[in-house]
Amino acid sequence: PRVSLGTFGRSFNIKDFYFEFKSKTHIGGLPLVHVNIGLGRVAKGVFSFGFVAAGIFSFGLAAAGLFAFGVLGLGFLVFASVALGAVSFGGVAIGVIALGGLAVGLYSMGGCAIGAFAVGGYANGSIIAIGDVAVGGIAVGDTRAEGSIISVLKADYFTMKDELFKEFAKLPKGWSLFTSWCRGLANIFMTN
């Protein structure tokens, strides 16, 4: 779309204003560094920088890559306002391991955490939930705990700790990484 500059009879296209740099070195067909900043432009490279960026290490408003950093991010390890990836960090984080204000994932930690293993202010974990308000299978809460298997409030933590950890031990060994994290976090949160 062209924009008129008034009586001078000149016009410009906002898409004509951009900056682009591509390194001469390529790895697997991708430039080592690609900077492409401007409307409607996409940076594609091992290291990519732009409004929209795709590559191994991507930095942009919208970034997709193995490691993505931006406002919207998609990838394996993602740091973004809205992050979607295997390991996600952000205001809204969705992934296998998600950490954020709103975290949704297999293992989630945040202000509002929802997942199989959830730790947060409000934690809803189908297997384990730890938080101020905890709802789930095994629920460990500061002010409220609603568990279908066991519920432990902070006030009762020391008297019910052994029974709680017996329930942790009954979980499948395949979850041992997550259960050990939850056990440690329960100790930290409930003793402070």
Reported pTM: 0.85
pLDDT of residue 3: 46
Greater confidence (49 vs 5) lies with 49
Phi then psi dihedrals of residue 10, to 5 deg: -100, 155
Could you state, in order of their start, the residue ranges of all structural domains in the chain? Answer: 10-191
Alpha helices in 1-137 (DSSP H): none
pLDDT band at residue 192, thresholds of 50, 70 and 90?
confident
5 pLDDT more than 80: no
**Residue among 37, 71, 32 at smallest CA distance from 55:** 32
pLDDT band at residue 18, thresholds of 50, 70 and 90?
confident
User: Other CB atoms closer than 10 Å to residue 154's CB: what's the count?
Assistant: 17
